[in-house]
Amino acid sequence: MSVAPVELRLRTAPPTTRPNGWWGMLLLIATEATLFAVLLASYFYIRFESGPEWPPDGIEAPKLLLAVVMTVLLTASSVPMWWSLRSIRRGRRSGLVAGLLGSFLLGALFLLVQAAEYRDELDHFKPQTDAYGSMFFTITGLHAAHVAAGLLLVLWTSFHGARGSFSARRHTTVRATALYWHFMPVSWFAIFLVLYLTPRV
């Protein structure tokens, strides 16, 4: 028995509404964005209460080179993530997996560069040095933890993508993963502006 054209389109066409999983991820991102906003606001409060010298106690402003490299890496990681979602919407599973692994690689490189930055910064100040040190390592460390969680999510999604668990019609997990991952460079850009650029103003 042949399938009617309308029924065939309903089976194969991508969903036009946003699923509950997407809204759930959006709610999680809103919560995490609020957390970062509060931390950055606390950073500004401590700065303006600490007097004209910032960073205090003779600490140099964070170096820009590695921070710029990290910003480029994390921003670039959104491109293969966008490609992976675009691919699965068209039913291309190979493009899905390749895009996810590309984002994973760039995200992992971001963490490696940040580890190198920490090694350098810890020679000059530590979280327990003063309030500035505490805020710097708390904010950047929390973001690194989010990136690490995102890497696990991307790896899990790529594993199931390679197994053929997603299709043009059914890929809510991919949509939620992409939404979370795109939040990483956005939140990092705010951190970059506040922690790395404003001390130079």
- For the stretch 136-167, pLDDT in tens is 999 999 999 999 999 999 999 999 999 999 99
**pLDDT tens sequence across 94-129:** 999 999 999 999 999 999 999 999 999 999 999 999
Q: How many residues does the chain have?
A: 201
CA 25 to chain centre: 13
For the domain 18-51+64-200, what is the CATH superfamily, name and number? Cytochrome c oxidase, subunit III, four-helix bundle (1.20.120.80)
> Within a 13 Å sphere around the CA of 55, how many CA atoms are in the beta-carbon half?
23
The Cα–Cα gap between 171 and 183 comes to 19
Specify the residue for token string 């995102």.
150
Alpha carbon distance 197, 130 (integer Å) = 20
pTM: 0.88
* Alpha carbon of residue 60 to chain centroid: 27
Q: Which tokens is 86 given?
A: 């675009």
For residues 14 and 19, what is the distance between their CA atoms, to the nearest angstrom?
12
